[in-house]
Amino acid sequence: MKRVRVVVVGAGVIGFSTAVCVAEALPTCAVTLVADRFSPDTTSDVAAGILFATQFPDIPVERQTRWFKDSFDHLLAIAQSDQAPDAGVLLTSGCQIFREVPTQKVPFWSELVFGFRFLTERELRRFPEHCFGQAFTTLKCESSSYLPWLEKRFRRAGGEVQQRTVSSLQELAGSYDLIVNCSGLGAGALAGDGQVHPVRGQVLKVRAPWITHFIRDGDGLTYIFPGVHSVTLGGTRQAGDRRREADPADSEGILRRCGRLEPSVAAAEVLSEWVGLRPGRRNPRVERGAPVAEDGGRRVPVVHNYGHGGGGVTLSWGTAVDTLGLVRQCLCEMPLQARL
């Protein structure tokens, strides 16, 4: 039987999660993943990888909850298996603190993480500039381990990987029967989507093994996330900024702000500086797009999964599962001869 040729564009956490979902669920498809950047050079590699979400304005909260839950359950199973060290997935506990009490004191994901509760007054004394806090246990998914682990899993499922730049989705229509676009920031050009914009983020990796609990300021700008090999200190959110090199002034600001939350940061050795461009968009785009036409006139379906902003690791498996559903729909609609 002829296999349906599926191409996934993008080798970040969204592309590889989607490629694994499709390749494992649909053995009748021959899945190829193409991208110009691979780990450790993607935005996904820069993410602290904490499972944590801010709510998108125009997507039903039920759908966002499902994305979070599917990702959490998938990664929790890995964290509790013998694969945890290879995949770089671990449980982590800590708190999020606020200078003003937020309107939503109980976020939509509060029942999906473990042990969600408010900080006590005694606990808050440690943060004199903050008046409210939430404590919980969530997952941390370190992309520099997780992406190579996903790539192995994808290849085991029969997937193929190619390094190349795609200049338009049409260019793929001659060689594939279905296109899945997971190109992150690159989707601005590939899908002609003016909503996609870079949100630059800089972080530092430091050696500070005594820090074992995370602290995140509710404004999303300052955070301390301990991981397997180092502690991530962040960060910045610079909309429209495409600079990929580290800025010393940003690093200085990060150390100063983190030091106010956790003074012992001053004793930490800085190991490296990382910069990533988040694929900013008002909402992630997980839907079917207009098909592209091959030279011979054949119309090739397109499914989009991009624009996850600052939450791509958190939503990666959930949006991949949704994308798999959209791929299945396209396959059902394909003329029978294309599938024989």
Ligand X SMILES: Cc1cc2nc3c(=O)[nH]c(=O)nc-3n(C[C@H](O)[C@H](O)[C@H](O)COP(=O)(O)OP(=O)(O)OC[C@H]3O[C@@H](n4cnc5c(N)ncnc54)[C@H](O)[C@@H]3O)c2cc1C
Binding site listing = 36-37, 43-44, 166, 223, 278, 309-314
13 binds ligand X per the rule CB under 6 A: yes
User: Which has the closest alpha carbon to 274: 241, 245, 253, 238?
Assistant: 245
11 binds ligand X per the rule CB under 6 A: yes
Query: At residue 143, what is the residue type?
Result: S
Q: In the range 44-63, which residues lie near ligand X by CB under 6 A?
A: 44, 46-50
Residues at the binding site for D-dopa are 223, 278, 310
SS3 229: coil
| Closer residue to ligand X, CB minimum distance, 107 or 279 | 279
Using CB under 6 A, which of 310, 317, 323, 324 touches ligand X? Answer: 310
| Closer residue to ligand X, CB minimum distance, 185 or 331 | 185
9 binds ligand X per the rule CB under 6 A: yes
* Residue 200 CA, distance from chain mean position: 15
Using CB under 6 A, which of 96, 314, 319, 323 touches ligand X? Answer: 314
Cβ atoms of 289 and 181 within 8 Å: the answer is: yes
Output the smallest distance, CB 121 to ligand X, in A: 28
Distances in Å between the Cα of 190 and the Cα atoms of 105, 133, 166 are 39, 41, 8
Taking contact as CB under 6 A, which single stretch among the options 19-27, 101-109, 258-266, 308-316 is the one that binds ligand X?
308-316
Taking contact as CB under 6 A, which single stretch among the options 12-20, 74-82, 124-132, 252-260 is the one that binds ligand X?
12-20
DSSP 293: E
311 binds ligand X per the rule CB under 6 A: yes
| Residues 226-265, mask of contacts with ligand X (x by CB under 6 A) | --------xx------------------------------
Output the smallest distance, CB 183 to ligand X, in A: 4
* Residue 172 CA, distance from chain mean position: 25
Taking contact as CB under 6 A, which single stretch among the options 29-37, 104-112, 130-138, 258-266 is the one that binds ligand X?
29-37
Distances in Å between the Cα of 12 and the Cα atoms of 119, 133, 151, 279 are 35, 32, 10, 11
The contacts of residue 102 (CB under 8 Å, 6+ apart) are 132, 218
| Closer residue to ligand X, CB minimum distance, 3 or 37 | 37
3-state secondary structure 158-194: CCEEEECCCCCCHHHHCCCCEEEECCHHHHHHHCCCC
Cβ atoms of 215 and 337 within 8 Å: the answer is: no
Output the smallest distance, CB 247 to ligand X, in A: 13
Q: In the range 264-293, which residues lie near ligand X by CB under 6 A?
A: 276, 278-279
Cβ–Cβ contacts within 10 Å for residue 334, how many?
A: 14
172 binds ligand X per the rule CB under 6 A: no
The rounded distance, in Å, linking the Cα atoms of 161 and 302 is 19
Residues in contact with ligand X by CB under 6 A are 9-15, 35-37, 42-44, 46-50, 165-166, 182-186, 190, 201, 203, 234-235, 276, 278-279, 306, 308-314
